[in-house]
């Protein structure tokens, strides 16, 4: 345990990043928090980002809340994913904030969603509510890029959702839109409004929206990976 320590600078390669992530597997969040000098919250309702912050510290991430990837120099995004005892995701996965204005000429190839999901380091974490936060264990990491089929699924959903935004239909979009990618409000409170386009092309104020990966998508990619690796 004592030989394990957080990276004090960003990892120099994808191999180093993955190796560090692999070394965390099996530890509890409490053990890692103690070594990193971070207090453990009683629950994550008010500290939703805490697990990500803890692992960013261990892995030497640099992006913080900037729109680039967490490991921009490597082109890798970090995503923690809470799972149940059967290894299934317990919640959707936030990708990035959705642009609601200024979308003329935006394509899937140049989109933030594609940029963020080009290369992802997934770290599963025990997430069942009956396990105290500090006792939840870190799982084996997975370095992933979308294959052709996954990229096509993501692109089709992104195009459908962006078409609705551009056509002034943002208020009509529900979490049911999209097969693998959904758009839904992302705001700490209902007073945090942002500009969007209305049905007649007029400026309106609405809640900020975020793109999220649905559980069926992340569940199948985790299942394929761990099945393949015999875990």
Q: Which residues touch 51 (CB under 8 Å, ≥6 apart)?
A: 29, 44, 80, 82, 125
Q: Is the dihedral of CA 40, 45, 46, 47 positive or negative?
A: positive
Which two tokens mark 154?
């993501």
Contact in structure between 143 and 121 (CB atoms under 8 Å): yes
β-partners of residue 93 are: 213
Contact in structure between 198 and 224 (CB atoms under 8 Å): no
Helices within the chain (DSSP H only): 14-24, 29-36, 50-59, 112-117, 148-166, 215-228
CA-CA distance, 191 to 176, in Å (whole number)?
24
Which two tokens mark 133?
């936060």
Q: Which residues touch 135 (CB under 8 Å, ≥6 apart)?
A: 28, 29, 30
Q: Which residues touch 112 (CB under 8 Å, ≥6 apart)?
A: 67, 95, 96, 97, 99, 211
CA atoms within 13 Å, Cβ hemisphere of 62: 13
Distances (CA, A) of 117 to 52, 68, 143, 191, 212: 17, 11, 11, 30, 11
- CATH code given to domain 14-228: 3.40.600.10
Q: Report the pLDDT value the prediction gives residue 65, as an integer from 0 to 100.
A: 54
Please choose, from the candidates 119, 94, 215, 109, the residue with its C-alpha nearest in 3D space to the C-alpha of residue 162. 109
Q: What does DSSP assign to residue 65?
A: T
Torsion of Cα atoms, 96 then 100 then 104 then 105, to 10°: 20
Q: Report the pLDDT value the prediction gives residue 67, as an integer from 0 to 100.
A: 59
Q: Report the pLDDT value the prediction gives residue 122, as an integer from 0 to 100.
A: 97
CA-CA distance, 43 to 164, in Å (whole number)?
37
Q: Report the pLDDT value the prediction gives residue 207, as an integer from 0 to 100.
A: 92
Residues of the chain predicted below pLDDT 70: 1-2, 62-68, 188, 228-231
């Amino acid at each position: 345990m004592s030989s394990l320590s957080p990276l004090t600078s960003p990892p120099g390669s994808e191999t180093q990043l993955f190796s560090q992530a692999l070394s965390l597997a099996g530890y509890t969040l409490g053990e890692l928090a103690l070594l990193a000098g971070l207090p453990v919250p009683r629950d994550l309702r008010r500290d939703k980002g805490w697990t990500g912050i803890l692992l960013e510290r261990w892995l030497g991430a640099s992006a913080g809340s900037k729109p680039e990837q967490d490991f921009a120099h490597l082109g890798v995004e970090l995503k923690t994913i809470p799972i149940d005892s059967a290894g299934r995701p317990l919640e959707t996965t936030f990708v990035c904030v959705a642009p609601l204005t200024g979308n003329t000429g935006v394509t899937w190839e140049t989109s933030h969603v594609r940029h963020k999901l080009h290369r992802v380091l997934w770290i599963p974490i025990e997430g069942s509510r009956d396990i105290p936060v500090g006792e939840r264990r870190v799982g084996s990491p997975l370095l992933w890029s979308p294959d052709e089929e996954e990229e096509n699924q993501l692109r089709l959903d992104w195009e459908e959702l962006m078409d609705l935004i551009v056509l002034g239909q943002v208020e009509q979009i529900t979490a049911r839109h999209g097969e693998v990618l959904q758009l839904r409000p992302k705001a700490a409170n209902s007073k945090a409004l942002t500009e969007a386009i209305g049905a007649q092309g007029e400026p309106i104020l609405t809640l900020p929206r975020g793109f999220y990966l649905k559980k069926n998508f992340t569940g199948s990619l985790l299942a394929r990976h761990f099945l393949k690796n015999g875990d």
